[in-house]
Amino acid sequence: MNENKISGITRIKKEKKSGSICQFDRYVPYTPIHEEKYGLGTDVTKGVTLLHDGRFDDVRSCVNRKGFKAMPRFIFFASCDKDQDALMEECRTIAETIENKIFGNDDDVGVVTGYAAGTNCGYIDLVIFDKDLFLDAAEDVLSRFSHAFLLTDSELPEHPVYLCTGKDTDVVRELDSLRRMDAFDAMLSVIEDLDPAEAGRYDIAVRGAAALNGLGEFNTSLDLLYSLIDKGKNDIFWISLSETALEFEKRLKDACELFVKCGVLCGDE
């Protein structure tokens, strides 16, 4: 793939009635932008973007100078262990769909600035001019893909905005990929949007407890875990989550009992 051209998405441009145009056409290799504090973005193996080092500020200052409030963000979704070339192709398809179906209909909404594939997530870089218009259109456009999509930005990546879960999505694999990224808020956002019956499934609910553990909500996690005890008491995943939460809640005797039980079960395997 030519890193200076992404399937026809070759520039960011914003035109006002005066006819002035902001445009960039030099895409650069994707580099992680949250490596020190957050897991999102650190798994990237290939891709190109305009949101790169100083060019991020170039894009923002350019559109702001023309009277628009730019919101540089990225959409991300769990890769579910997909082959990196296949994931990159899917990212390209999603990026072009957003460009054509959302931004192509209204220049005031935003532009796609790049995309990337990672070992745990796929990423679509955007500059959004009108968040409300984008959110109104995103669910309908993205629901055709088999992923749970979230929207974040470079300043608050720990608080993603849930967009939608597409048809035929393997929610458990999505949650596991997000958990490997420490994207615990994202996990909870996906679970909260599910139908109550599906969200209450053991394999999904226990991953919700894992997200709560990751956020330090150990007491809430224990309440959820003990509501699942009938199915979880012989499940090493449930036991390890419960042990961790009990330890942080200073219930060391109960934590030690689960530690011993986990060792017995592991020995039996």
Q: Which residue has the higher pLDDT, 65 or 172?
A: 172
Other CB atoms closer than 10 Å to residue 226's CB: what's the count? 15
Residue 1 DSSP SS3: coil
With pLDDT > 70 as the criterion, what percentage of the chain qualifies? 71
3 has pLDDT over 90: no
Cβ-count burial of 237 within 10 angstroms (0-12 exposed, 13-18 middle, 19+ buried)?
middle
pTM over 0.85: no
In tens, the pLDDT along 205-236 reads 999 999 999 999 999 999 999 999 999 888 88
Cβ–Cβ < 8 Å for 116, 47? yes
pLDDT at 227: 96
Residue 78, φ and ψ in degrees, nearest 5: -70, 140
The DSSP result for 37-105, as a single string, is T-STTTTEEEEEES-STHHHHHHHHHHHHTT---EEEEEEEE-TT--HHHHHHHHHHHHHHHIIIIITT
